[in-house]
Chains A and B, each alone.
Chain A
Amino acid sequence: MNRRTALLATAEVLAWWVGLALLWLVLISTVDTLERVVGAAAAGAGALAAAAARRAVTGR
């Protein structure tokens, strides 16, 4: 993994995180600090899993 691919992988995880965190904020009923913290953590785990799954499917 060179500098460019590392940067691309980080950008992909970040893009997944943004999308999943926004989805979380849309789906919850009340927005408060605890929900934001839990949502950010869950979106982080989801983003890592999504990036890994996409890598596994595309075989790279």
Chain B
Amino acid sequence: MNGWTAAATVLLGCGLGTALWGVATGPLRRRVVAQNLSTALACPGLLLLSQAYGRPSYVDLGLVLALLGPVGTLVFARLLADELAEDPPSARGVTWAVAGLGAGAVIALCVATGPSRAMVKLLVIGALLISGNLLASRALSGGFGGAGRG
């Protein structure tokens, strides 16, 4: 048990646990936001576990999650567009807090890794994670309402 394991446990236990509880209960506007944030919390958790166990292959799981999480949210945003238009979710504070958490985890891992190819990979994953999460969150709150062509 080192600091990385502890950080990953706290992140997955408190963060992902809360997100899953949010997905399972409450109104639709809260569920979709929690669904979006659950992948944004699981990705830094996997990155921290990769450092904790010394298994670089876990980083690839984080990369896949950072790519596919926002894509999954966009599918929900499209399928539930009518319901979400009546009661649009707005979770600016939580979204930015989770984005900051992800950025903090990536920066800490970069410091631990040192300047190398692995650090560039971590930065790419971090950029994908944060930008994808913010885009998906904006799509959920109807930010791209005029962009669709039917």
Contact = CB atoms under 8 A, between A and B. Distances in A.
Interface stretch (A2-10, A23-31, A32-40, A45-53): A23-31
A23 B63 CA distance: 13
Contacts of A27: 63, 121, 124
B56 A26 contact: no
Interface string B62-105: 01000000000000000000000000000000000000000000
Contact of B56 (A23, A29, A31): A29
A2 to B, nearest CB: 31
Interface string B95-137: 0000000000000000000000100110010000000000000
Contacts of B56: 29
Nearest to A22: B120
Interface of B: 56, 63, 117, 120-121, 124
11 contacts: A23-B124, A25-B117, A26-B117, A26-B120, A26-B121, A26-B124, A27-B63, A27-B121, A27-B124, A29-B56, A31-B117
